Structure 1
Amino acid sequence: MSNSNLLIIGLVWPEPKSSAAGSRMLQLIEQFQNQGYHITFSCAAKTSANTFDLGIFGVETQAILLNDSSFDDFVSELNPDVVLFDRFITEEQFGWRVAEQCPGALRILDTEDFHGLRKARELALKEGTAVSRAHLQNETTKREIASMYRCDLSLMISGAEINILTEQFRIDKSLLYYLPFLLEPISKDTKIKLPKFEERQHFITIGNFLHPPNYDAVLYLKQTIWPLIRQQLPKAELHIYGAYESQKVTQLHNKREGFLIKGFAEDVNEIMQKARVCIAPLRFGAGLKGKLIDAMQNGTPCVMSNIAAEGMFDDKSRKLSCHAEPACAEPSRSTKANGFIEDNPKDFAKKAVELYINRDVWQDKQQNGFEVINERFNKASFETEFSQKVTSLKTTLKTHRQNNFIGNVLQHQTLQSNKYMSKWIEEKNR
């Protein structure tokens, strides 16, 4: 076992009850602790009422400042063996300081999802067109890929995104590593204890309202899909959960229409087990969707868009929602979806009603969900290889970096530009 130090630089403090990103971070912490790492989590953001107490896991925490040389002293004294950047923005802010103070530290980027892809889809949606190469080559993509090159390894949660990065942007596969959600398998005993079809009622959707794709999906439900479902199921309700609801969200609440804004979910398992069907008509986005994982873990079948389903099941059976690319052959086992995948609103509503009233179909899709969790996201399937990858990179770091010449160029240029911009801001703020 290693006795190494890991420094995580978080974009925000982890909130597993608020977002899939928070749960993902705790999964990574567990992975590195299993490898014997002593972990320090640092962050420049403010804490909130939903911030997870990392002390429970024995993780040290450290508040840090943006554009402040105090971070140089902190990271130099800590002298980490590995630094994990939580999304590309933190690498932009602190990567040059880490490279300057701790040049021998392995630098890993946890992308969470491919932000440039999400931005491309958002732009295309606003224009009412299909996603094109021009959409993909947006400013966010350029910044994010530059960050990937500057790091020694980028953790990718979706094989579909690896496909785009290697095929469209020709990024070397040695810089990318497939590491999806890392979950406990669902036991037979757990399955038996879950509420049955007859014991559940109503529809559910869930997602952090600060995340633009989630808010867009709620609006889309309100204006287009939910009225079609209510025409056939006039007594059904849609319960909408999510952290950080704003006035523009709460004003969508309409009891007469059965469109109910429920707000923050203290226990996602409890509310998901009460629902009969989960719906996720996301029209843009990237990565893996935590709401679908929550649904499958609690035996709640889903109706979802192609973008929501991307990376979850067998991507050979559906388009990538980016016409310039073929379907992605994901580096993991294929499984059937825990429900239906539809983009057309009328078809979406039709399948939602079918899943809601047909017990046999519901049970079949529920079983698919259990298989997805146990076969595609079983953390035991990834732990050993990931540990070996980190160890191997640490021992061959010099050669690995020599083979990444573009990364060396970007590191040199970024070190100069970001360094002096940051120092100018620091002086300005004195």
Structure 2
Amino acid sequence: MLRGRLDVATRTHISGWAQDERLPHQPIALLVIDNDVLLDRVVANRLRPDLAAGGIGDGRHGFDLRFEGGLPGLGQHLIRVVRERDGAELAASPAVIAPANAFDAHETSLLQSVLDGLATTTAIDAAIIALSAQIDRLAARRLAPAGSKPRALVIDTTMPAPGRDAGSNAILSHVEALIRLGYAVSFAAADGSAPPRHPGIDWRSRPVHRSVEEVLTREAGRFDLVYLHRLDAAAGYMPLVRLHQPRARVIYSVADLHHLRLARRGYSEREPALIAHARKVRDTELAVAGAADAVLTHSHAEAAILRRTLPAERVVVAPWLVTSAKPRAVVPQATIGFIGHFGHAPNLAAAHRLAFEIMPRLRAGIPAITCLIAGSAMPPAMRQWAAPGVQLLGAVDDLPAFFARLTLTVAPMRFGAGIKGKLLDSLAAGVPCVATPIAIEGLDWPTKLAHCVADDDAGLADAILALCSDAALHRQSVLAGRALIKRDWSMAQVDAALAQALGSDAAAAG
């Protein structure tokens, strides 16, 4: 009597065991049949320790077939394993191998073999043409079917990373708002970097999509909305967007007005060349803004500047979602902090001011006060700073843990533009922020936080010392900061702003 089993049946591997109970020590010859065609002949004589442990003879009853390249994946395979002598079939035979629903290693190997055999330029060119046509067909099949959600393409200079910077937080927040407003959202980045793990977004990245240009041209006329984030992306792709997506509504999100930041830096550092460059950047920014159907800014101040040259209804103040943390049970004493990306000139200058100009004043009032400076891209010269009471932490992965160490944060910017994302994060964490007028520019800053704003070093130091020494004032500042976040930086505010920028398209999407 035949006993045994077909244990594994895949396109690359068939294995199992077989034994004749009347002749338990004699190997059995088997036939492996694929769709009624003999695939191979095999003898069940391989050692299987599990069979030996189970008392099935001496365990030498196994068989194992491996197929280099695998069985063809385009059709179904019905695998049968039978005894050669009489056709008796093993248990679990036949086994069905379903057709491949993906372009896997076998198909890749077959294609590579064909391509490797091309020997002439003419043959190679013909293959490129044929493959390009098939790629176009696949790209067309990948698109959303007719009658589905309206399609939005978001273009940025780089892929966002949640929590990395204000720009990432803003663009991801706006993408989520578009999804809530009824759009199917695709995202392409100019630098080809790897996308984050984020549900609901169709990431257009390498190797499937080689460039933003490819997405725009291959899917010409297929997007209802194109959202351009930051000046470099908008200036670089606006002409292509208008050429290949003529029916799309185009939104340009400025992030911050570059020319304003450059001009302020130029005047602060007395650099005429930088001031002249700022004027050229201003012309570019206004030209790009003028070519868009709607312009987003996070700042009320920058909205006012844009409305000097653009129709007021085309400029929309759009926050991003900032989530408040639970109130802190314990507030650390006399520990202040600054966090930012130090490849950004305003942050580097502000950190230097805090360490070398403000901290000496603070130590005169509270000798034990400590300043923690954190952030990415610290230049080597900065790492050599030797300022009493100042600790340079470098990049921090856990922002809530950093804020938990602080009494308050400081944003002593002398120049810059746009909304300061880490200032908002600080308020949301229940950590008051002492700041310059430049740092809070564009926010609807409440009068209850007026004591947290000063322009000169002496005023900033006095505000910091007051918050460190007056628990009631500190508590009032925490509550006012959290109220600001809840009022102006909620999901409802984000959705309303994006809906306003979309105009009639928002109603159609919804």
- TM-score normalised according to structure 2 size: 0.65
Q: Secondary structure at the match of 2:191?
A: coil
Amino acid at match of 2:168: G
Shift of 1:313: 3.0
| 1:102-251 superposed matches below 5 A | 102-127=245-270, 138-167=279-308, 170-184=309-323, 186=324, 190-191=326-327, 194-197=328-331, 199-251=332-384
Amino acid at match of 1:177: V
Task: Say if 1:336 and 1:372, in contact at 8 Å, map to a contact too.
Answer: no
Residue 425 of structure 2 corresponds to 294
Q: Does 1:358 align with 2:470?
A: yes
1:153–1:57: structure 2 CA closer, same or farther, 3 Å change rule? same
Match for residue 402 of structure 2 among 252, 271, 276: 271
Task: Say if 1:155 and 1:178, in contact at 8 Å, map to a contact too.
Answer: yes
Match for residue 38 of structure 1 among 163, 170, 184: 184
Measure, in 1, the Cα distance between the counterparts of 2:290 and 2:394: 39
Q: Secondary structure at the match of 1:89?
A: helix
Q: Which runs of 5+ in 2 are unaligned?
A: 1-146
Residue 217 of structure 2 corresponds to 73
- The structure whose RCO (Cα within 8 Å, separation 6+) is larger is 1
Q: Does 1:83 align with 2:229?
A: no
State the Cα deviation string for residues 89-141 of structure 1 (Å, max 9, x = none).
11211111111111001111111111111112111111299xxxx88971111
Measure, in 1, the Cα distance between the counterparts of 2:482 and 2:359: 27
Shift of 1:157: 0.5
Amino acid at match of 2:384: Q
Amino acid at match of 2:237: F
Shift of 1:384: 3.9
Q: Secondary structure at the match of 1:16?
A: coil
Shift of 1:202: 0.8
Measure, in 2, the Cα distance between the counterparts of 1:210 and 1:286: 15
Shift of 1:246: 2.3
Match for residue 29 of structure 1 among 172, 175, 178: 175
Shift of 1:240: 0.7
Q: Greater share of helix residues, 1 or 2?
A: 1
1:17–1:201: structure 2 CA closer, same or farther, 3 Å change rule? farther
Measure, in 2, the Cα distance between the counterparts of 1:196 and 1:310: 30
Measure, in 1, the Cα distance between the counterparts of 2:443 and 2:213: 42
Shift of 1:54: 4.0
Task: Say if 1:287 and 1:311, in contact at 8 Å, map to a contact too.
Answer: yes
Shift of 1:148: 0.2
1:370–1:69: structure 2 CA closer, same or farther, 3 Å change rule? closer
1:182–1:224: structure 2 CA closer, same or farther, 3 Å change rule? same
Measure, in 1, the Cα distance between the counterparts of 2:500 and 2:305: 26
Higher Cα Rg, which structure: 2
Amino acid at match of 1:172: P
Q: Secondary structure at the match of 2:187?
A: strand
1:238–1:214: structure 2 CA closer, same or farther, 3 Å change rule? same
Measure, in 2, the Cα distance between the counterparts of 1:231 and 1:52: 48
Structure 1 stretch 209-218 or stretch 12-21: which is displaced more?
Answer: 12-21
Match for residue 261 of structure 1 among 392, 399, 404: 392
Measure, in 2, the Cα distance between the counterparts of 1:253 and 1:242: 17
Amino acid at match of 2:300: G
Residue 392 of structure 1 corresponds to 504
Task: Say if 2:252 and 2:292, in contact at 8 Å, map to a contact too.
Answer: yes
Q: Secondary structure at the match of 1:138?
A: helix
Amino acid at match of 2:367: P
Instruction: Give aligned pairs, total.
Output: 358
Q: Secondary structure at the match of 2:301?
A: helix
Q: Secondary structure at the match of 2:452?
A: strand
Q: Secondary structure at the match of 2:448?
A: coil
Task: Say if 2:261 and 2:417, in contact at 8 Å, map to a contact too.
Answer: yes
- TM-score normalised according to structure 1 size: 0.76
Q: Greater share of strand residues, 1 or 2?
A: 2
Percent identical among aligned pairs is 23
C-alpha root-mean-square deviation of aligned residues, in Å? 2.7
